[in-house]
Structure 1
């Protein structure tokens, strides 16, 4: 069985902002209330990869949410380049060729980066999936991709918390489930369509929750992070 995860380590704060200066100010304000940060497209393209390396060197954990998806060789070489930053997680889209290439790139350099497969974005509902050309409802598409990821040997799954229990049954206890679209009770859902509270997510079998605006937009980000961690601790 995997080692227990502390409530503080379950929380991943999304640094969805425009500059590394802004991100570093937020990290300073949060202090020791959190120790795991997500860097996605917006910040990644604005110097965020260098920040990722600095955070890792400082002993913080980094989730590179870059959602790689390209021809196999490009994904493989991209993962090899990212391995040296010291990040903990990296996302790729849950297409079989992409997942295999990501694992091959990581293993070729003896890396420790854990590869997470993004099943279906949490901003999608069934209507969005149909518009994109998928015949399956979102929940079934998530299950199909999670099962493929398990067979390929991916380290973890990114899905909405609403699908977590079904995904856990498919992938077993040894792989991670990471969920965005987490909103504390009473928080606005924004552009997310499949959301849960932090406590609900942990009860559903989620290992890590990704929280952005409820923390980054709070008057006191440290307090907001502490409240989320406390909510999850009550479940543990």
Structure 2
């Protein structure tokens, strides 16, 4: 990953857009290579949106966070890979059997459809959780700082190719999992950008230095007066 072009490291999140808007926006940003399709856009636009973005020459991070029994996760990942999504999220807490099934099915689905082999990314603990609430509501006594690396290890052992993590977790996870294990980090705010609703944020260059392989950036680019200029500035920061 060391020699990646800065544009390959930045994934722009098409959150809060209707399908036509998302496709138009993705087409307009100069030099854009990766986009993230989340639940809201996927539910509104349907699976076709992945193919439409691919037809525009873009690579797709499909962030649907699959969490189900092994057979269902396998089926979903097989379909997602066949669409051409190259990054696909799954919940680590589905367990090793489901993670192994999902990984095998994703590889198979991509091969059969003639698509690139995807990387599955495990979600450890959603950033919305606070420790006290995790203990109170789910009876999980493990501290988040212990739970995240434990679930990352579970995922890596099951053959999953990477994790989604907060930028503040990147350094510790990278020490535990060297490249090519992918660490994709949201919560990135370029110089001068508003923090928004993310509590734990970091600048792009800082996050890469901490061990992140790719960064998910949304509003600082999508809500900018000139998204192409904002994207170019993020690339420059790297």
State the TM-score, normalized to the length of structure 2.
Answer: 0.90
User: What residue in structure 1 maps to residue 125 of structure 2?
Assistant: 120
Matches of 2:105 and 2:230, distance apart in 1: 37
For the residue of structure 1 that corresponds to 2:60, the secondary structure is strand
Q: How many residues align?
A: 230
Residue 4 of structure 1, CA deviation: 2.5
Contact preservation (8 Å) 1:125, 1:194: no
User: What residue in structure 2 maps to residue 200 of structure 1?
Assistant: 206
Structure 2 unpaired stretches of 5+ = 112-116
Structure 1 unpaired stretches of 5+ = none
Matches of 2:66 and 2:149, distance apart in 1: 20
Contact preservation (8 Å) 1:52, 1:85: yes
2:163 equivalent to 1:157: yes
User: What residue in structure 1 maps to residue 221 of structure 2?
Assistant: 215
Contact preservation (8 Å) 1:123, 1:192: no
Superposed CA RMSD = 1.7
Residue 129 of structure 1, CA deviation: 3.1
User: What residue in structure 1 maps to residue 61 of structure 2?
Assistant: 63
**1:74-127 residue CA offsets vs partner (Å, 9 max, x unmatched):** 111111111221111100011223322211212344641211101122333434
Matches of 1:106 and 1:131, distance apart in 2: 35
Against the structure 1 CA distance between its residues 4 and 129, is the aligned structure 2 distance closer, same or farther, given a 3 Å change threshold? farther
4+ runs deviating over 6 angstroms: none
State the TM-score, normalized to the length of structure 1.
Answer: 0.91
